[in-house]
Amino acid sequence: MSWNTTTDHHSIKKYMPYLLATAIFMQMLDATILNTALPAIAKDLNESALNMQSAIVSYALTLAIFIPISGYLADKFGTKKVFIISIFIFSLGSLFCALSGSLIQLDISRVIQGMGGALMTPVARLAMIKTYPKNELVGAMNYAIIPALIGPILGPLVGGYLVEIMSWHWIFLINIPMGLLGILFSFKYMPDYSSDSSKLDVIGFLIFGISSILLSVGLELTGHSGDYTLVSILMVLGFFIMFCYYLYAKKVKDPLFPPSLFLIRTFRVGVIGNLITRLGIGSIPLLVPLLIQLAYGQSPSVSGWIVAPMALAAMFTKPFVIPIINKFGYRNILIFNTIFLGILIGSLAIPSENMSIYWFLPVMLIMGSLNSIQFTTMNSITVANLRDNQTSSGNSLISVNQQLAIGFGIAIGLSILRFTENTKWISHNNIHMAFQYTFIFLGVFTILSSMVFRRLHPKDGNNLKSKQ
């Protein structure tokens, strides 16, 4: 491993979290801002709004395909070069999106965007893991993870206002100044880690990529298509090919994702826990605005402001996360915090159609605080015991897992809502009741998902305990 930079180590450690935060924010904002603007884009491109789903699918597919090789590229060419190029590609793709005059042009531009987005966050996180000692990593991640909570909330708000006040083109153009700023900071503050031992497992990359494509397409169709036979075939086939990759990886010398990673208990619990808990948590920033609009008849901007307190609470909680972790330990926090989140999700079913929508504000505030604690704790414990030669592959797998987890969460939330709405003996043709049963199911599931973290030991994560 090498590290070549002219900037002192103290400055690197001081500004490195902001680089990761910039990458996360750009990616998370872009992943959600398009949803609000799709009808306007469709009208301008003379397309049906239903056909515009390809603009989302093409981006998600590209992420799923290229995230697995982020670790190899960073080791081969250096974290600094790859990160700067990834931001440039993402910004260039954003410009092409804004200039698109047809759906096919937009789809191609979204693929270019996805190629940059697939590398930005994993490479920045890898640089942070290699820069900070274990006892300082949690504090650094705590600051950098906030954009992951803000992006999905600001996305619909920003997208709605930009389309209403200016035009849909600006939902892509706003990425360019942020990208330029990120590039300028990267030249000075991004460390250049590399490794001569990294080799690309081409066959493993292809097998894993095919599996990721099938799962991503299945996820997209789950929330937007009624053809559950096709969805089932894609998902089953995707998981089968993923299992084939596991069998393949056990036999080769340098696999893309070594199965030995899952011999590390904290990594195994962190990855599985991250995936399962997000199945309940992940759809809430989408379902609550839908509830406010469809069941209470409010405008998109009002529904956006109802969930905005989640971001404010996440930022307010940030200084307290490390002391909470140091006091209660990773195992206790992940078990009980997940249970509390499940209870809060279930409580969203309490208000009737006649109650004020402002009842949701305190729930969103508390949920934002608990989400901030949850994500920081889960992400930190997952990398707690990775060795230096495992950080690249482990970090890439964490990124792929989070991408799929977010997609699974949204898809499952929408599927349950559709099922309850279309099942007359459950919803009685009442959309509000359909939402209520959806929140109850997701809440119970989230509570049960806390069982995953019981596999942790009380002393797990002690090497990560940070200074306040």
Per-residue pLDDT in tens (0 to 9) along the chain, 468 residues? 444 444 566 677 777 777 787 787 777 777 667 766 766 787 888 876 556 666 776 787 788 788 888 888 888 888 889 999 999 999 999 999 999 888 889 889 999 998 998 888 888 888 888 887 767 776 677 666 666 666 666 676 777 677 777 878 888 888 898 889 888 888 887 888 877 766 778 888 889 888 888 887 777 676 555 567 888 888 899 889 989 988 998 888 878 788 888 888 888 999 999 889 988 888 887 788 878 878 888 776 777 778 778 877 877 887 788 888 888 888 999 999 999 999 999 999 988 888 888 888 899 999 989 988 998 888 888 877 777 777 777 877 887 787 777 777 877 887 788 888 877 777 777 888 889 999 999 999 999 999 999 998 888 877 666 543
Q: Where are the domains of the chain?
A: 9-197, 201-255, 258-457
Taking the chain, what is the end-to-end CA distance rounded to the nearest angstrom?
Answer: 30
Phi-psi region of 465 (alpha: psi -120 to 50; beta: other; left: phi over 0): beta
Distance CA 195, CA 3 (A): 10
pLDDT of res. 90: 93
pLDDT of res. 297: 80
Cα–Cα nearest to 453, from 335, 279, 325, 278: 335
pLDDT of res. 367: 92
Asked if 213 contacts 64 with a C-beta cutoff of 8 angstroms, the reply is yes
**Structural tokens at position 105:** 């042009």
**73 to 24, 119, 193, 199, 391: CA distances (angstroms):** 19, 9, 11, 9, 13
Asked if 318 contacts 146 with a C-beta cutoff of 8 angstroms, the reply is yes
Long-range CB contact pairs, 1-9, < 8 A, 24+: 1/130, 1/193, 1/194, 1/195, 1/388, 2/78, 2/192, 2/193, 2/194, 2/195, 3/130, 3/191, 3/192, 3/193, 4/78, 4/192, 5/80, 5/190, 5/191, 5/192, 7/188, 7/189
**467 to 134, 283, 316, 324, 408: CA distances (angstroms):** 11, 33, 19, 12, 35
**Side-chain-facing half-sphere of 192: CA atoms under 13 Å:** 13
**Structural tokens at position 363:** 């729930």
The helix or strand, by DSSP H or E, that contains position 126, with its residue range, turns out to be helix 103-131
AA identity, residue 241: I
The per-residue DSSP string of 349-378 comes to T---TTS-GGGHHHHHHHHHHHHHHHHHHH
Asked if 408 contacts 353 with a C-beta cutoff of 8 angstroms, the reply is no
Fill in the DSSP letter of residue 283: T
pTM for the full predicted model: 0.75
**Structural tokens at position 240:** 């089968």
Residues facing residue 2 across a β-bridge: 194
Taking 3-state DSSP, the helix, strand and coil percentages for the chain, each rounded to the nearest 5, stand at: 80, 0, 20
Superfamily of domain 258-457: MFS general substrate transporter like domains (1.20.1250.20)
Asked if 204 contacts 256 with a C-beta cutoff of 8 angstroms, the reply is yes
**Side-chain-facing half-sphere of 16: CA atoms under 13 Å:** 29
DSSP-based three-state secondary structure for 193: strand
List the Cα angle 252/254/259 in 5-degree steps. Answer: 75
Cα–Cα nearest to 80, from 36, 26, 42, 127: 127
Same fold, 9-197 and 258-457: yes
DSSP-based three-state secondary structure for 135: helix
Asked if 60 contacts 216 with a C-beta cutoff of 8 angstroms, the reply is yes
pLDDT of res. 467: 45
Residues ≥6 apart with Cβ < 8 Å to 286: 152, 410, 413, 414
**Structural tokens at position 130:** 């290699």
CATH 2.40.50.140 fits 9-197, yes or no: no
